[in-house]
Chain A
Amino acid sequence: MQPPEQRDEVEMLSLMLLIRRFEERASQQYQAQKIGGFCHLYIGQEAVVCGAVAAARPDDYLITAYRDHAHALARGTTADACMAELFGKATGCSRGLGGSMHYFDKAHHMYGGHAIVGAHVPLGVGLAFASKYRDEDRVTLCFFGDGAINQGGFHEALNLAALYNLPIIFICENNLFAMGTSVERSTSLKEIVDRAEGYDIPGTVIDGMNFREVRDKLAEIIDSIRKDPHPAFAEIRTYRYRGHSMSDPASYRTKEQLEKFRLDDPITRLRAQLTREEKLTNEQFDKMDKHAKETALASVKFAEESAEPPLEKLYNYTYVNAAGSGEARPAEEASA
């Protein structure tokens, strides 16, 4: 029996592999036109959400932006439910009504999946407000990208969190590009973390390619918030290997930059650390990777075989307790 920390690290490596293989499979299915709309992949950033989830409690609130597949998977949403959502199927984590950018899983405290840049940061503050209102010791993990930090809602949210002293950690996944616009071209500050200082919120910079650093630094911050509610800010420096979305060839960045980060791959790095410490064998790793690939492949089969959301329930999700109250218009009427 391994000590818990070691077992956790192997488990987390396995989770990172699942995320990567899931995203690769999603990419393939998108190209095969099985997936509609937009699809933003997390490949390269796996250590960020996995480190955060390892540092937090399962009932801590988690909310993120539109690059959200990994956040659901990390929280425990099944690959089946995640892939089925991309396929727009009723078995998806949002019943096929949300899509890639709107993953939700209440049972796993995953509060979305939000696609208007910066607009969910105030929602995260609301989750933290609710914990404090109810005198609970939950911490809210509010993820967003470097592209969100110039939106008004982001600034308003930080100010409110500081003003009301709410238990929230703002986690900026700085992957250097907001779509095709680099941080230097979007942000007047040299260091994103300095945004926090303007609101009297303590800020930390973390290497997002290093699982252990993400986990340990976030654990320290989360513990301090849990003991004494307050907001905190972490700028986690990471990199996405793929374009912004599936349709983006990412011609705005250099091959050299991509290669530099790929050499520092978070999965390779944690694997090497564990192997060096004799906590993981090559056979174990291969087995885990094989399992991740099989899980991702099986999720495609599951999604393909799942039913579409029923047309006759089109109006069922506009209002709750709406049956018979008259506000739902028949489809013929709405399109007239």
Chain B
Amino acid sequence: MREITYRQALNEALAEELARDPNVFLMGEEVAEYNGAYKVSQGLLERFGPRRIIDTPISENGFVGLGVGAAMVGLRPIIEFMTFSFSLVAFDQVVNNAPNMLTMSGGQFNIPITFRGPNGPAHQLGATHSHATECLYANVPGLKICTPATPRDAKGLLKTAIRDDNPVLVLESELLYSSKGMVEPEDFDLLIPLGQAELKREGSDVTIVCYAQTVPLALAAAETLENDHEISAEVLDLRSIKPLDLEAILKSVSKTHRVVIVEQDRPFCGVGAEVCYRIQKEIFDALDAPIMRVAQEDVPMPYNERLEKAVLPSAEKLIAAAQKVCYA
């Protein structure tokens, strides 16, 4: 194991899969000559050439559709969104074409495409550039969605996504690109299955369900809960939103009997609403308190730093929610 950044981990995943399969290509805005808006594709043009690392104009609807068409005949496109906020310009392609094709064609055409890029609020980017799109896409049958929170998960999930025969969204996080973590050596073929949550911290009083950039937040909150409030929190990182690892969630909640879900999207019809529904449906009697959710406030993201902070989930909000479900 060695310590690398989340960005580096993604870069390794791309390079390894490009080297492994000649049908894989990377396409998006600034991915080639600029080396990626966030430098995730650094060095790939030099190594794989312009046939496989392809710059596009600012034309999301066009190049996402191009990717879907190429995938219909067996290529395996990786489409980079500079941010998933821009995927909304290609919403019709991501929602109507990629995931519907298999059903509409009676099983004749699957779409092995990977959509990737940063998702969720970063820092003071304002309303248009701060979308957490997971709840929008999770509503669409036919899409798979993963949300890596660590460099190891970033590498392992992206590699799995590229090899998946269905459309997969890899929702990265701008705030995590420079974070570091331990990852297996470069030549190790690291594949992490979609739909497997990971227990990040064991605990006995409350389960904190989290994903993506709420994972570091949950771990920090768990630390404070332990040290200052004598509450032992278990932290479960979903890693994939769809498929959802319901088994891992139920196992943890059956042990702790209390849950707080911390999500980076909006509360109305958010990921937490679905998780909450599943828990109460399956193990209602195991619950000792109503399930709580910590999500964004239900407003378009304000630019002002203080207001933005107030909108976002925080360790403080999470600690308060954990205390509440523990009646502490």
A residues at B contact (CB < 8 Å): 61, 63, 92-98, 102, 104-106, 111-114, 116, 119-130, 133, 152-153, 156-157, 159-160, 163, 316-322, 325-327, 336
Contacts and interface: CB of A to CB of B under 8 A. Distances in A.
A320 B195 CA distance: 15
A93 B65 CA distance: 23
Contacts of B65: 119-123, 125-126, 153, 156-157
A127 B70 contact: yes
A61 to B, nearest CB: 7
Given A121-B65, A156-B62, A126 B71 contact: yes
Interface stretch (B105-113, B217-225, B308-316): B105-113
B85 interface: no
A94 B102 CA distance: 10
A102 B51 CA distance: 32
A325 B109 contact: no
Contacts of A119: 65, 92-93, 96-97
Given A156-B61, A318-B142, A94 B108 contact: yes
Interface in B85-104: 92-93, 96-97, 101-104
B107 to A, nearest CB: 5
A327 B61 contact: no
Contacts of B92: 116, 119, 153
Contacts of A322: 166
Interface of B: 25, 51, 56-57, 59, 61-75, 92-93, 96-97, 101-110, 141-142, 144, 165-166, 194-195, 242-243, 245-246, 281
Contact of A317 (B64, B102, B243): B102
Contacts of B63: 122, 156, 160
A123 B69 contact: yes
Given A112-B105, A126-B71, A130-B75, A320 B110 contact: yes
A120 B141 CA distance: 20
Contacts of A120: 65, 97
B105 A94 contact: yes
Nearest to A334: B141
Given A116-B97, A130-B73, 5 more contacts: A94-B108, A113-B104, A122-B66, A130-B70, A321-B166
